[in-house]
Amino acid sequence: MSKILVTGCAGFIGSHVCEFLLKRGETVLGIDNINDYYDTSQKTQNLEILKKYANFEFSKEDIRTTSIISKWKPDKICHLASMAGVRYSIKNPKIYVKVNIEGFIHILDEARENNINHIVYASSSSVYGLNTKVPFSETDAIVTPNSPYATSKMAMELYAKTYSQLYNISLLGLRFFSVYGPRGRPDMAPYKFLKAIMDGTKFKKYGDGLSMRDYTYIDDIVDGIISSLENKSNMSCEVINLGNSNPVSL
């Protein structure tokens, strides 16, 4: 069995990935800084689920400064930690540079210095920005980002390509499309829909309601991540769309 480091282990996607790996006997090393972008009690609850497994170890760490990779020497890294939220990034752009870009570079440097050459990381469908061509393809030109969040994910992909070429690290970026499911983030539309229905309140609509979203269930995202961890890409650096391929409008 492998020893796998999962960053952002207390988050929505990270906790599900960890739980899957733990159930099949992998040794999982999880780090998370438990930031307050949304209610930290949800992340604490996610951690309690993971801590029930003897093969799980957790350390509260900031990805920008952590030296845990040197200590733990994992076989593989699943990098899911990041600042999320398109709208929040427009109001607070600097933190996306610090966490998403600088944090990723720090993880890459730690991996390089410890000879870890298999990394799967979270990108986002947001990189397609104002692209009007549908369906989106990995071969589309990525030139029209429309938020600091999207730009930070684009930068991560570029740094991944650079580190892969210079240091012979296998880096696979997964562009997630609107993930939903149990333990989902409260700032995402599916959670807000459900809460409004349960509370009997009106749901605030942004824009004209005609925008399309490719909602993808969490189990499908986990399957894609696990497959990427199990099967090292023949290409040294690659990005893959991970979605449902069935977009719906509001």
Please state, in angstroms and rounded to a whole number, the distance separating the CA atoms of residues 74 and 120: 13
Contact 40, 34 (CB under 8 A): yes
* Cβ contacts of 24 within 8 Å, gap of 6 or more: none
Give yes or no: 121 in active site.
Answer: no
What backbone phi and psi angles, to 5 degrees, belong to 172?
Answer: -115, 115
Could you tell me if residue 178 is left (phi over 0), alpha (psi between -120 and 50 degrees) or otherwise beta?
left
* Cis amide linkage into residue 135, ω under 30° from 0: yes
Closest residue by Cα to residue 17 from 172, 230, 233? 230
Q: Which of 149, 163, 180, 215 is catalytic?
A: 149
CB contact burial 211-245 (16+ within 10 A = b; e otherwise): eebbbbebeebbebbbebbeeeeeebbbbbbbbbe
Q: Annotated catalytic sites, by residue?
A: 149
